[in-house]
Amino acid sequence: MSVVDNQGRTLAGLLARLRPHWHRDPGLPGRIEDLLRRDRRFGARDRRLYRDLVYTAVRHLPWIEPWLDRDPGRAVRAIAWLAADTPATRAFRAALLGSAAPDPSLPPASVADKAAALAGILGAAPAASLLPSWFERECPEAFRPPNYDVLNTRAPLWLRLSPGDPDPVFAEFAARAWPWRRSPLLSSAVEILGEVDVTATAAFRAGAFEIQDVGSQLILESAGLTPGEHWLDACAGAGGKSLQLATLLGPGGRVDACDVRPAALAELARRAERAGLARRITRPNRPAASYDGVLVDAPCSGTGTWRRSPHLKWVTTPARVQTAAARQQALLAQFATRVRPGGRLLYATCSLCPSENERVVERFLAAFPAFSAEPFAHQSRGEPRGAGLVFWPATHNGDGYFVANLRKA
């Protein structure tokens, strides 16, 4: 048996073990990592290869799953064709597909073009949608090009440059032959055009940049923050937006960060220390109704992150969306009391579902008449949706987000 045949059989075996879980386990990435890590046959290079191939299968599950029983060999060939051209997959794709492999120098194919190309491998072009059917009722725009095509591609790697001279960062990238480009929307946002480990750089260790999706960056950059203010980050997590918020508020500003997960706050503290922002980010210690602004980056269904976490497409349901919306409503009501008169409440999600976005805001405004929706300082960076803005993945080549800017009278 050749090396590539053995790799194909190994991939089919991994998919067989994961198959009982990918329609019901939100923690599938952890399961994948555990499966790869425990197999003693796999070195680091093998894990990268099979990780890429497994995620390709999960991203295109309605096209791949029917063939796993019918003809696993064809399923493996289809996965190889669909996989991105990375250092991990390049040799596997070339050995398995030969001249039939896609040309990596061409622009990414649309979903329709991919389906047509797979007709030669599968015997017929797959017709199933690569997004769950219920989602079309929530977000019909996601099913139209270019959003549909972009939502079904891998997420790029975006960085946020810290204030200061970026030339040393770019010089280190050049020394490593890493291609990059700046976002046309944000000069601080840089996309790395390759499969690299940016955490291994001296620039990262020095706090010269943070890993943060461009859509996430747009939330705060569009709001037009006032330097010197004191803000509360109500759902800080590991702190990507807390660090950005502290940067935008400047040396005279302060950010109080809270989260229900101690481990996330510990990671935020480490990141703040590396970025030189530890003195500007503290734990909440102010009385109610005293903050100039409160950011509620609420837990959500994550439908805007499906390029980065494709497994969520197959475990997210309308019921999960409604449960998230109820929690978001409660969080807005809870933290609205922390905003001073004249202050602002920024509500954000990484969801593209109106049920979690504009409808939550509409209900909040009806229940809290002291607040009203306010235009954004940089309105053109997103698409107006109800009382907020949507940042579409196809517009900025990142994840999808929603944000509303609410002012207290």
Cα-Cα-Cα-Cα dihedral sign, residues 191, 193, 199, 204: negative
Q: What is the pLDDT of residue 106?
A: 86
pLDDT tens track for 74-110? 999 999 999 999 999 999 999 999 988 998 888 889 9
What are 114's two structure tokens? 């991919």
Q: Is the pLDDT reported for residue 1 higher than 80? A: no
**Residue partners of 236: CB distance under 8 A and separation at least 6:** 242, 257, 258, 259, 264, 265, 268, 297
Q: What is the pLDDT of residue 288?
A: 87
| pLDDT band at residue 364 under the 50/70/90 scheme | very high
Q: What is the pLDDT of residue 271?
A: 95
Q: What is the pLDDT of residue 45?
A: 93
Q: What is the pLDDT of residue 308?
A: 96
pLDDT tens track for 259-277? 989 999 999 999 999 999 9
Burial (CB count within 10 angstroms: exposed 0-12, middle 13-18, buried 19+), residue 299: middle
Q: Which helix (H) or strand (E) covers residue 135, if one does?
A: helix 134-138
Average pLDDT over residues 41-62: 96
Average pLDDT over residues 198-225: 96
Rounded CA separation 80/75 (Å): 9
Q: How many residues does the chain have?
A: 409
Q: What is the pLDDT of residue 285?
A: 82
pLDDT tens track for 277-326? 999 999 888 888 999 999 999 999 999 999 999 999 999 999 999 999 99
Within 21-110, residue ranges assigned H as helices are 28-38, 44-59, 61-70, 72-82, 90-97
Q: What is the pLDDT of residue 108?
A: 84
Rounded CA separation 321/282 (Å): 32
pTM across the whole model: 0.95
Q: Is the pLDDT reported for residue 44 higher than 80? A: yes
Q: What is the pLDDT of residue 217?
A: 97
| pLDDT band at residue 54 under the 50/70/90 scheme | very high
Catalytic residue list: 350
Q: What is the pLDDT of residue 232?
A: 97
Q: Is the pLDDT reported for residue 257 higher than 80? A: yes
| pLDDT band at residue 35 under the 50/70/90 scheme | very high
Query: SS3 for 233?
Result: strand
Average pLDDT over residues 324-336: 98
pLDDT > 90 fraction of the chain, expressed in percent and rounded: 91
Q: What is the pLDDT of residue 238?
A: 84
Contact 156, 400 (CB under 8 A): no
Q: What is the pLDDT of residue 91?
A: 94
Average pLDDT over residues 7-30: 96
Q: Is the pLDDT reported for residue 191 higher than 90? A: yes
Q: Is the pLDDT reported for residue 381 higher than 90? A: no
Mean pLDDT of the chain: 95
All structural domains of the chain, each given as residue ranges with its CATH number in brackets, are: 3-128 (no CATH), 157-212 (3.30.70.1170), 215-408 (3.40.50.150)
Query: SS3 for 290?
Result: coil
Q: Is the peptide bond before 146 cis (omega within 30 degrees of 0)?
A: yes
Q: What is the pLDDT of residue 107?
A: 83
